[in-house]
Amino acid sequence: MSTQTVHRTPSIGITTTAPRDIATEFLVLPVFEDDVIPEEADVDAASGGEVGGARARGEFKGGAYELFTPAVRGWTAARVALVGLGLRKDFSTDRLRRAAATGALVARQRRLQRMAIVYPRSVQAPAADAAQVLAEGAILGNFDGASYKTTDPPRVWLDQVQVRVDGNGAAVELGLERGRVLGECTNLARELSNEPGNALTPHVFADRAAGIAREAGLSVDVLDEGRIAELRMGLLLAVARGSQEPPRVVVLQHGPADAAKAPVLGLVGKGVTFDSGGISIKPSENMDKMKDDMSGGAAVLMAMVAMSRLRVPIRCIGVIPMTENMPGGRALKPGDVLVSAEGKTVEVLNTDAEGRLALGDACWYARRLGVTHLVDVATLTGACVVALGKTTTGLFGTPETWVEMVRRAGERAGDRSWPMPVFDDYKELFKSEIADFANTGGRAGGAITGALFVKEFTGDLPWVHLDIAGTAWAEEATPYQPKGATGVGVRTLVELALGVDGWATL
């Protein structure tokens, strides 16, 4: 239904040319706040000391993602831009990724189509990792979520990106390919999360997901409302009851021939295409943002696609429950008691705590399909936003070793998360007098009780819950991220699968 393309993947290649001789419209050079690297000294000389003068005046400090475009003579590039990395001691590959995204966004704003980015020679990081994050950043910057605007000028997209990274050529090529796939899949997740609820209904989401997954070589099974009822997924069916749109469950399987029978990574993503809150209706302010309540499902879908495209040698099963949560005449009511597919009973105290209901049945189904390790991804609770703000994902799970594996994967991916407690004491908050437990424990520890509700359906498997309520949507634009969907979770899940050797025996 979108009227405009919202992202494009440019051609990305390696250049070994000296920075001064790279033929491009926009040459990006990441620099430090407290250290002049050799490449910056070359630019300073070519600018007649303009860079050094700007440093001395405080006009350009090299702070994180700060931009300076000096007039440079004698260089082949039409324009040269310095992008700050901040202090050298704070350097990370994520800063490099964001610097590349900053450069790409600025190039597009200036209506340029060709960009090159130079990895500083003095930075000690593996060449493959540097190539990967530079490619990811450039592609992430080639995104614009305004898909339904019809009066804006035609968009300008980056068509060509050159990356200069010194190192083993094969390793750099591998890094570029990973970055290309992860950047493109993250943008596809952002595109889905940006879609309005009237365009991306549960069955449309299921159809689009199935098409994208099959094209990537994944095995796909779409459960309609009849099959969902046969499986007695009473929690998911109850959430869907108030809507005229029937629910769907999309099951994706990645099973390369060279993968061992175990472990089997299970990914479950919340796919609520619009969440009104149901009978416990949300305030009207910001309810429009609830179109992104399927961001966890989009992350699981696109992570699975990336795994297939990268031929990750691990078996993986993704389960995405898709529904709307609406206040219709047949809608779920506070006080109702539901029976899950596992047979556990749930008293509903708040119909706006619906995501955990859908995830409960989905986690049970993932276990039934044979997964050995579980990660669920969901825009689950406003309480997590209160606790951690909009920059950090809530990380819950057991055992601690599995939680740490996921945290490290997220750190490599640039998806920051923070471990939260899951002590059994918190279960007292969602006790029920009439059923096995209630679907909410009230305001106190709301993100924790939401996670522990999902845990009730994970058996004894290693399990992690990623609450992306605060990180799935950027409320304010930054130099490296426009306002809107972020695609959080895609790269974390793929990094986790790529690191299977570190957790397969858990």
Instruction: Flag whether 474 is in a domain.
Output: yes
Instruction: Report if residue 177 sits inside a domain.
Output: no
Residue 6 is assigned to a structural domain of this protein = no
Residue-wise pLDDT tens digits, 126-139: 999 999 999 999 99
Please check whether residues 127 and 222 belong to one and the same domain.
no
Q: Note the pLDDT tens digit of each residue in 202-217.
A: 999 999 999 999 999 9
Q: Are residues 90 and 196 in the same domain?
A: no
Average model confidence (pLDDT) across the chain: 96
pLDDT at 375: 98
337 shares its domain with 372: yes
88 in catalytic set: no
Q: How far is CA 291 from the centre of its chain?
A: 16
Catalytic pick among 20, 232, 282, 408? 282
Residues 6+ apart with CB under 8 A from 77: 22, 23, 24, 25, 26, 27, 116
Query: Residue 19's domain is classified under what CATH number?
Result: 3.40.220.10
Task: Please confirm, yes or no, whether 282 is among the known catalytic residues.
Answer: yes
Q: Rounded to whole angstroms, how far apart are CA atoms 178 and 302? A: 14
- Asked if the structure places residue 414 within a domain, the reply is yes
Please state the pTM of the whole predicted model. 0.96
Which of 166, 200, 222 is the last residue in one of the domains?
Answer: 166
Q: What angle do CA 309, 315, 320 make, to 5 degrees?
A: 80
Number of structural domains the chain divides into: 2
The confidence band for 3, taking pLDDT boundaries of 50, 70 and 90, is: low
Residue 2: band (very low, low, confident or very high) from pLDDT cuts 50, 70, 90:
low
Residue 183 forms part of a structural domain = no
Structure tokens at 352: 């706006």
Q: Which helix (H) or strand (E) holds 251?
A: strand 248-254
162, 203: one domain: no
Residue 380: the pLDDT is 98
Examine the domain organization and report whether 137 and 204 are in the same domain: no
Whether residue 460 is found in the same domain as residue 387: yes
Answer with the residue of higher pLDDT: 169 or 298. 298
Q: What is the CATH number of the domain that holds 274?
A: 3.40.630.10
Integer angstrom CA distances of residue 362 from 14, 336, 366, 458 = 43, 20, 6, 10
pLDDT at 446 over 90: yes
Residue 374 has pLDDT above 70, yes or no: yes
Helix extents (H) in 389-456? 400-413, 446-455
Selection from 414, 412, 400, 372 nearest residue 495 by Cα:
412
In three-state secondary structure terms, 257 is: coil
Percentage of the residues of the chain whose pLDDT score is greater than 70: 99
Same domain, 380 and 262: yes
Q: What is the mean pLDDT of residues 186-192?
A: 97
Q: What is the pLDDT of residue 125?
A: 80
- pLDDT score, position 152: 78
Answer yes or no: do 114 and 204 share one domain: no
Assigned domain for 181 exists:
no
- Is the same domain home to 119 and 244? no
Kindly state whether residues 287 and 148 are assigned to the same domain: no
Q: What range defines the domain where residue 418 resides?
A: 192-502
Tell me the two tokens of residue 461: 């498997």
* Residue 1, pLDDT above cutoff 80: no
187 within some domain: no
Q: Which two tokens stand for residue 398?
A: 């057991």
In this structure, the strands spanning 373-378 and 463-467 are: parallel
- Does 287 lie in the same domain as 214? yes
Q: Which of 114, 270, 356, 367 is catalytic?
A: 356
Question: Do 141 and 98 lie in a common domain?
Answer: yes
Kindly state the helix (H) or strand (E) to which residue 192 belongs, with its residue range: helix 169-194
Distance CA 278, CA 324 (A): 9
Q: Is residue 98 part of a domain?
A: yes
Mean of pLDDT values over 419-437: 96
Average pLDDT over residues 28-48: 94
Cβ-count burial of 61 within 10 angstroms (0-12 exposed, 13-18 middle, 19+ buried)?
Answer: middle
